[in-house]
Amino acid sequence: DGGITQSPKYLFRKEGQNVTLSCEQNLNHDAMYWYRQDPGQGLRLIYYSQIVNDFQKGDIAEGYSVSREKKESFPLTVTSAQKNPTAFYLCASSHRTGAYGYTFGSGTRLTVV
Amino acid sequence: QKEVEQNSGPLSVPEGAIASLNCTYSDRGSQSFFWYRQYSGKSPELIMSIYSNGDKEDGRFTAQLNKASQYVSLLIRDSQPSDSATYLCAVWDNYGQNFVFGPGTRLSVLP
């Protein structure tokens, strides 16, 4: 079955540590996206990519980095420069025009310990 | 900065009633509108899309779009306790090539 897989489901980060969240899709979607959701808040766009080897900053890119070396994969690194990384991170994919909407992964909950 | 606004709620309705969820958007050129449902601790799931003015029905759900007023709504008929969730309005940004989400409306259906 086609879908989008995020891992891990839960992640704990120590102060000053970089961590990488995985996102893989087998839907043959060109576009992939990373959103952050804080408790009781909406979705805020971190980074997105419309095509392999190209990506754009969203509204809250500072302290995050991404790569898009393969169509199927769009990993997100939360760097030590992100001072408040505790949140629910959602990866999504879609056709480049947004037709049919996003398909979301199940999310990764990141906590700073 | 394109904006999508929703009443944050919570919106409480009795079981069997009609729940009405509203959304306004700032970009007059927007063409694609989606509603997502998100249960607590879970990822959003697509409920409905609408592209043309008027109503679109799918089971107990009806999406309504009025582009002149920049307004889109979601009606849930015969509300069930299982409909209790946060409902997110999403509007496609043609320039940015991504969806802009509203903050969501939390719906509580009381048995």
Please write the tens of the pLDDT for every residue from A15-39: 889 999 999 999 999 999 999 999 8
In chain A, whose CA is at the least distance from the CA of B86?
Answer: A40
Confidence of residue B6 (pLDDT cuts 50, 70, 90): very high
Q: Torsions phi, psi of A19, nearest 5?
A: -135, 150
Q: Do B97 and A98 make contact, defined as CB atoms within 8 angstroms?
A: yes
Give the span between the Cα atoms of B27 and B90, in whole angstroms: 12
Cβ–Cβ < 8 Å for A102, A78: no
pLDDT per residue as tens digits for the range B41-81:
999 999 999 999 999 999 999 999 999 999 999 999 999 99
Single-letter residue type at A6: Q
Residue with tokens 């959003």: B44
B103 neighbourhood in chain A, CB within 8 Å: 41-42
Return left, alpha or beta for B65; rule: phi > 0 is left, psi -120 to 50 is alpha, else beta: beta
Q: Do A99 and B32 make contact, defined as CB atoms within 8 angstroms?
A: yes
> What distance in Å separates residue A51's CA from the closest CA in chain B?
12
Q: Do A42 and B49 make contact, defined as CB atoms within 8 angstroms?
A: no
pLDDT at A1 (0 to 100): 67
In chain B, whose CA is at the least distance from the CA of A48?
Answer: B98
